[in-house]
Structure 1
Amino acid sequence: MPTRRQFLVLSSTAALTGLLSETPASAADTAQPYASYWHPATILDWDPSTDRDAKYNRSTVPLARRVVPAGPANAHARPNEARVQALVAYAPTSGNPAQGSLDINYYATNYWQYIDELVFWGGSASEGLILAPNPTVTDAAHRNGVRVIGNVFLPPTAYGGQIQWVRDFVRREGDRFPVADKMVQVARHYGFDGWFLNQETAGGNTQLANDMRDFIVYMKKSGLRVVWYDAMTDSGSVSWQNALTARNRMFFEQSDEMFLNFWWSTQGLANSASLARQMGRSPYDLASGVDVEAGGYNTSVGWASIFPEGRPHVTSLGFYRPEWTFKSATGPADFYARDNRFWVGPNGDPANTTTTANWKGVAHYVTELTPVTTLPFVTNFNTGHGRKFAVNGTVRSTQAWNNLSLQDVLPTWRWSVTGSATLVTPSLDWDDPYDGGTALKITGTPQSANDVRLFATSLKLTGGSQFEIVHRTGTGPSRLQAVLRFGTTERVLDLGGVSGAWRRSVFPLGEHSGATLTEISLRVLPGAAVTAFIGRIGVTNPVMTPPAAPSGVQVEQVSRTNATTASARLTWTRSPGAIRQYRVYKAAGAERIFLGGTPNDAYFVPAIPLNAGETAQIEVEAVSEAFDVSPPARISVTGTP
């Protein structure tokens, strides 16, 4: 088969093995819970009450509502047309830690504003074919209003596929499909949104194709989304159509979307869109596949076939393996530069995508969306990985980490700066976080007032609403102003002179009660060189009482990882009300060491500083959406020899 086709079938066995830089220890040694995967026969035995990892694999973040910004960045992009689907492999099929790991090197997806749906790609014949997403991925995606889809990979026979697995997959019991029932149970228990069906095993017939169609109809009754991949046809054979045709329309007809194979043509996509409309479907339910696993933004793409200049988009866009930006990078800074170029374009500004380059960035075509639609809104610019972890300006851990469950909503526009002559440079900084692993950093010597557009919002304010910002500067005054926009009007807030320490400023917004806040920007005034760090921005309605502490904290298992460190499985009863996350610490006198966090009520602590025979006090506190913190719930853990 052609090389590009091999990317799709080989990635689950060969390429996936290189995504994590560490080799996980065995579950028996460390109690490490892993993300779930099955073959069609083994999923039938899955029961969340007996799967000891199931509680650690649950996502609890609801899917946020998103809207088109009142002032989109790019006049060329077209809103409410093409959607973007991303097929992403985060880790190996097996040995994939459920709740993050102690390593900064991770594909911390953070251009969610251009993604509508994320497919958790993976699977291999030797490990498993049905993959449930990590809860960390679902938590981050949902916070940004992006649906997450589990993956079914029924591989070609040349790569270990067995036609019997396909038959097992669609096997009926009366009017039921047992595997579908289990997949529905998995998705509901784990909190993700549907399944991507990639059937590439040869040897099928018409009956098997009809069974697969009926399987989709049956699963759709659950309310889950089903995405079909263009491979199996109505005859049961595998024949990539690279279009919507009479050969695969029976599957598209029953699915929510179809991912078209990579070898499409201009005419083929036009015909596909026309046929979709004839079927009473939106052409944007078809995602034209673009394979970027090998080349990222160096991939040659016939963009005009999908996005004809000056005319409506033809179909949606489907990226296969955009985590190239991470896998090809030399480190986190390089990854973020590559990711910015991939999504925003070579100019690094979503408002300016004019370039002679073939790859102009997704922002050139697709209008960004914002999930900042509900009060309270608070961000610490936490990207979901880091070299350290800070809490309210104090570093509580110097351990590298990744955990997308803790990721905040990041700036809508990265980076859009207006002004004349020399402009300041915004970036995300891992060296000096305020809360989490990263902060916003602005440097430069502006020769005019520079506006740094940050967040598109749609927040209806009340009489008690307030704006808060935490920032500091290296030396001298900050010369920073916050600019809040309400449609065509704006309010400018002077942040005053700050040097050295973090400073929290709060501005009442009661005079804007009933108005809708549509944008948050920062203005940097000219005068001299500036180095400013912004640790938090928020719009809240303050509450008088913090959240209640979680209760019933229990230690399920403690395991020795080395002479000075242990791991532990913890569970607790959730606090009442809306809780953003729970944070876990080791308390030692006045010192508190951050051990990790989750929105869930079960967390695997990968590394507790704990000598043999030592008893440590573990604290679990609830954190609200506005970052109000509960009193801690406590439990003791004793290190074993």
Structure 2
Amino acid sequence: MSSTAALTSLLTETPASAAEAVAQPHASYWHPATILDWDPTTDRDARYNRSTVPLAKRVVPVRPANAHAHTGEARVQALVAYAPTSNNPSQGSLDMNYYATNYWQYIDELVFWGGSASEGLILAPNPTVTDAAHRNGVRVIGNVFLPPTAYGGQIQWVRDFVKREGDRFPVADKMIQVAKHYGFDGWFLNQETAGGNTQLANDMRDFIVYMRKSGLRVIWYDAMTDSGSVSWQNALTARNKMFFEQSDDMFLNFWWSTQGLANSATLARQMNRSPYDLVSGVDVEANGYNTSVGWASVFPEGKPHTTSLGFYRPEWTFKSASSPADFYSRDNRFWVGQNGDPSNTTTTAAWKGIAHYITELTPITTLPFVTNFNTGHGKKFAIGGAVRSTQAWNNLSLQDVLPTWRWSVTGAGTRVTPSLDWDDPYDGGTALKITGTPVSANDVRLFATSLKLTGNSQFEIVHRTGVGPSRLQAILRIGTTEKVLDLGGFSGAWRRSVFPLAEHAGATLTEISLRVLPGGPITASIGRIGVTNPVLTPPVAPSSVQVEQVSRTSTTTVSARLTWTRAPGPVRQYRVYKWTGTERIFLGGTTNDAYFVPAILLNTGETASIEVEAVSEAFDVSPPARVSITGTP
């Protein structure tokens, strides 16, 4: 791949101390020879690298935003490098600056990009990435990077990779074990090392066949050919079709042409394959939405899409940004276009946003649905309206499902502006903020849903505004009707409103919007929106909380590895606190049964009480399970 050299220049991290280096769990990576020794029972980081969120079902909205976009044709792959190959914390870190992927509605599959000759070639995704992606119905794919010789690649590594033992491929067996243990969906094979022959190519093909029998997905990158040489075809041809016919998808190198893609689509159909199993690569690492793209080659106007589309390094929106607000502005333009409205992508700009071509999908298909608009990183962390930590953080495991449409506001004249706000969260690190002076009723479309209501279903919303009536209404589209819920009243503090939906039992809720009525300026914060069937009993607490390790990281702080036995029944996440005797300080959270706490204020010899609580999908919480830790010298 033409931009692989950039991988070696990613920032590296230096642990604060030797003790912290031993304590901090990291995402896994291997060479072909070293993965053979991997055993989850002896790898002390393995438990911290597991994702537990199942892949959500997604559906097309009843009323998609953009009439120009197509449904059921091209898919989007994103090849993202979140961190260096080595020293990549398993469960987030104490830093807000992170590529918090959150336009999942346009992505079908995410490849956890990375790898370097000096560190490792086979990369398993962070569980945080898989948790967030799966919650949004997006598959996550680990990466194999067998690099060009110019970047340290060795043909012996390729031979080791596909080495057989009888009818087995030992490396494939380990990769299957890794994916199933860690909970991700397959592997991307990027073989760019020169020096192969026909036998090596045949072995690689057989390796793919063997791996797919496990049920994992395999994506092949257009580099190695049937002769074993490396020759980028930038198309589906006779030289690489043997790999495509055995793979789920093939990522076509970046230098494709209109005719080449058309011929590729034709050949795919002749092979009884969908042309959308071909992914036309676009390298956006350097220039993001300023990249020149042959859009009409992939998405010809007035015709079916030619192939799917793959973005190499869309985290440009983060890497090039000057601040979190700048990152979100760039990310919105990348996915939605310069108008910032997925329903209006009309522009003379060449980059119209993916919303112009691809219909959004929603994972909100089962009750309960609750979102606190948590983006998975922030300046602070709040619980139920009270700030429980002022420490910056990132942890995509805690990310909520974010609005389907960002942002689609209807109304005559001046309209309000929705945004995500990290200064005043209700629960987590972010809230939805709406500001402006509407001169007519403004409807802010938020969530596409497919929720079959029951006799116990209710809609809840937590919001607050400045002094004066809130002038906010919630609009629920149920079947073909709109249910208008007046949020009224004065909302200087966080206010929770609950509306029963029993009269709509058996009907399907398809959309959640907010209406802002005219009458002057408004600044409103929405901390939570949910559709639930309330339960009478909270979740059961986790049990057997254990302190696996405590390490001194400074004169006043320690880190700790914690494990516990899961609470019975479905649990959305576990939250970890320090109890001071007068207040609870939030230390972090995970969907897992093991969590690394990077910083706990604790002097030498001092003892602290640590609490772990289970949180349900509806954000009901269990009683805490407790364990004591003592500060080490």
CA distance in 2, matches of 1:211, 1:638: 54
Residue 383 of structure 2 corresponds to which residue in structure 1? 391
Matched, 1:626 2:618: yes
Q: Could you tell me how far 1:496 is from its partner in structure 2?
A: 1.2
Residues 27 and 177 (structure 1), Cα distance of their counterparts in 2 relative to 1, 3 Å cut? farther
SS in 1 for 2:8: coil
- SS at the partner of 2:116? coil
The residue that corresponds to 1:29 in the other structure is 20
Q: What residue identity is the alignment partner of 1:372?
A: I
Residue 474 (structure 1) shift: 2.1
Question: Residue 499 of structure 1: CA displacement?
Answer: 2.7
In 2, are the aligned partners of 1:420 and 1:448 still within 8 Å (CA)?
yes
Structure 1 segments of 4+ aligned residues over 4 angstroms from their partners: none
407, 411, 420: which one aligns with 1:415:
407
Q: Matched residue of 2:130: which SS?
A: helix
Corresponding residue SS for 2:98? coil
Tell me the secondary structure at the aligned position of residue 281 of structure 2. Answer: strand
Question: Cα deviation per residue 1:125-164 (whole Å; 9 max; x = unaligned)?
Answer: 0000000000000000000000000000000001100000
Alpha-carbon distance between aligned partners in 2 of 1:198 and 1:26, rounded to the nearest angstrom: 35
Kindly provide the CA deviation profile for residues 465-489 of structure 1, in whole angstroms up to 9, marking residues without a partner as x.
Answer: 0000000002221100000002321
| 1:78-119: CA deviation from partner (whole Å, max 9, x where unpaired) | 011000000000000000000000000000000000000000
Aligned match of 1:505: 497
CA contact (8 A) 1:27 1:33 kept: no
SS in 1 for 2:553: strand
Deviations 1:206-260 (A, max 9, x none): 0000000000000000000000000000000000000000000000000000000
Say whether residues 1:108 and 2:90 are aligned partners.
no
Whole-angstrom distance in 2 between the partners of 1:505 and 1:618 = 33
Match status 1:446 vs 2:438: yes
Structure 1: tracts of 5 or more residues without a match: none
**CA distance in 2 between partners of 1:129 and 1:88 (Å):** 15
TM-score (norm 2): 0.99
Give the structure 2 partner of residue 367 of structure 1: 359
- Find the partner of 1:435 among 408, 421, 427: 427
Secondary structure in 2 matching 1:102: coil
2:581 partner amino acid: G
Match of 1:43 in 2: 35
1:164-212 Cα distance to aligned partner (Å, 9 max, x none): 0000000000000000000000000000000000000000000000000
What corresponds to 1:10 in structure 2? Answer: 5
CA contact (8 A) 1:11 1:122 kept: no
**How big is the shift at 1:12?**
2.0
Q: How does 1:215-364 map to 2 (within 5 A)?
A: 215-364=207-356
Deviation at 1:27, TM superposition (A): 6.2
| Equivalent of 1:593 in 585, 594, 606 | 585
- The question of whether the paired residues in 2 share the 8 Å contact of 1:70 and 1:487 is answered with no
Q: Which moved more, 1:605-614 or 1:537-546?
A: 605-614
Equivalences, count: 632
Deviations 1:309-354 (A, max 9, x none): 0110000000000000000000100000000000000000000000
Aligned partner of residue 138 in structure 1, secondary structure: helix
User: Hey, what's the Cα distance between the residues in 1 that align with 2:601 and 2:410?
Assistant: 48
Name which of 573, 578, 594 aligns with 1:602: 594
- Partner SS state of residue 49, structure 1: coil
Alignment partners' CA distance in 1, 2:470 and 2:6: 48
Q: Does 1:538 align with 2:507?
A: no
Give, in whole Å, the separation in 1 of the partners of 2:150 and 2:479: 58
Separation in 2 of the partners of 1:439 and 1:395? 13
Q: C-alpha separation between the residues in 1 aligned to 2:253 and 2:467?
A: 55
Deviations 1:283-322 (A, max 9, x none): 0000000000000000000100000001100000000000
Gap change, CA 1:434 and 1:58, over 3 Å in 2 = same
**Per the alignment, in what secondary structure is the counterpart of residue 363 of structure 1?**
helix
C-alpha separation in 2, matches of 1:270 and 1:553: 58
Q: Report whether the alignment pairs 1:580 with 2:572.
A: yes
What SS is found at the alignment partner of 2:592? coil
Residue ranges of structure 2 left out of the alignment (5+ in a row): none
Alpha-carbon contact 1:26-1:32 (below 8 Å) kept: no
State whether residues 580 and 623 of structure 1, in contact with CA within 8 Å, keep that contact through their aligned partners in structure 2.
Answer: yes
CA distance 1:58–1:477, change in 2 (3 Å): same
1:380 to 349, 372, 388: 372
Q: Secondary structure at the match of 1:583?
A: strand
On the 8 A contact 2:20/2:559 being kept in 1, the answer is: no
Whether the aligned pair in 1 keeps the contact of 2:19 and 2:552 (CA below 8 Å) is no
Q: Structure 1: how far apart are the matches of 2:20 and 2:102?
A: 33
- Provide the residue aligned with 2:392 in structure 1: 400
2:241 is aligned with what amino acid?
Answer: R
1:97 aligned counterpart, secondary structure: coil
User: Which amino acid counterpart does residue 52 of structure 2 have in structure 1?
Assistant: T
SS of match in other structure, 2:110: strand
- Secondary structure (helix, strand or coil) at the match of 1:300 reads coil
Which amino acid is 1:450 matched to?
Answer: N
CA distance in 2, matches of 1:531, 1:93: 43
Partner in structure 2 of residue 168 of structure 1: 160
Distance 2:472 2:613 in 1: 34
Matches of 1:197 and 1:515 in 2, distance apart? 45
Identify the residue that residue 59 of structure 1 maps to in structure 2.
51
2:334 partner SS: helix
The one-letter amino acid of 2:11's match is T
Partner of 1:481: 473
Matched residue type, 2:6:
S
Q: Summarize deviations over 1:350-386 as a string: whole Å, max 9, x none.
A: 0000000000000000000000000000000000000
Task: Give yes or no for the alignment of 1:528 onto 2:523.
Answer: no
Distance 1:6 1:215 in 2: 25
Q: Normalised by the size of structure 1, how large is the TM-score?
A: 0.98
SS of 1:287's partner is strand
Equivalent-residue separation in structure 2 for 1:563 and 1:548 (angstroms): 36
Distance (whole Å) between structure 2 residues aligned to residue 339 and residue 66 of structure 1: 22
Tell me, yes or no, if the aligned pair for 1:87 and 1:321 is still in contact at 8 Å: yes
User: 584-593 vs 346-355, which deviates more?
Assistant: 584-593
- Cα RMSD between the aligned structures? 0.8
- 1:342 is paired with a residue whose SS is helix
Partner residue in 2 for 1:76: 68
CA gap of 1:27–1:410, structure 2 versus 1, over 3 A, is farther
Matched, 1:496 2:491: no
> Which of 131, 145, 151 is the equivalent residue of 1:139?
131
Distance in 1, matches of 2:20 and 2:580, equals 26
Separation (CA, whole Å) in 2 of partners of 1:492 and 1:590: 42
Distance (Å, rounded) in 2 between the aligned partners of 1:385 and 1:286 = 34
The alpha carbon displacement at 1:26 in A equals: 5.6
1:590 offset after TM fit, Å?
2.4
SS at match of 2:329: helix
Q: Deviations over 1:551-608 (max 9, x none)?
A: 0000000001101110000000000000000000000122000000000000000111
| AA partner of residue 232 (structure 1) | M
CA distance, structure 1, for counterparts of residue 412 and residue 240 of structure 2: 54
From the superposition, tell whether residues 77 and 157 of structure 1 become closer, same or farther in structure 2 (CA, over 3 Å). Answer: same
Aligned match of 2:510: 518
Paired with 1:482 and 1:196, the residues of 2 have a C-alpha distance of 43
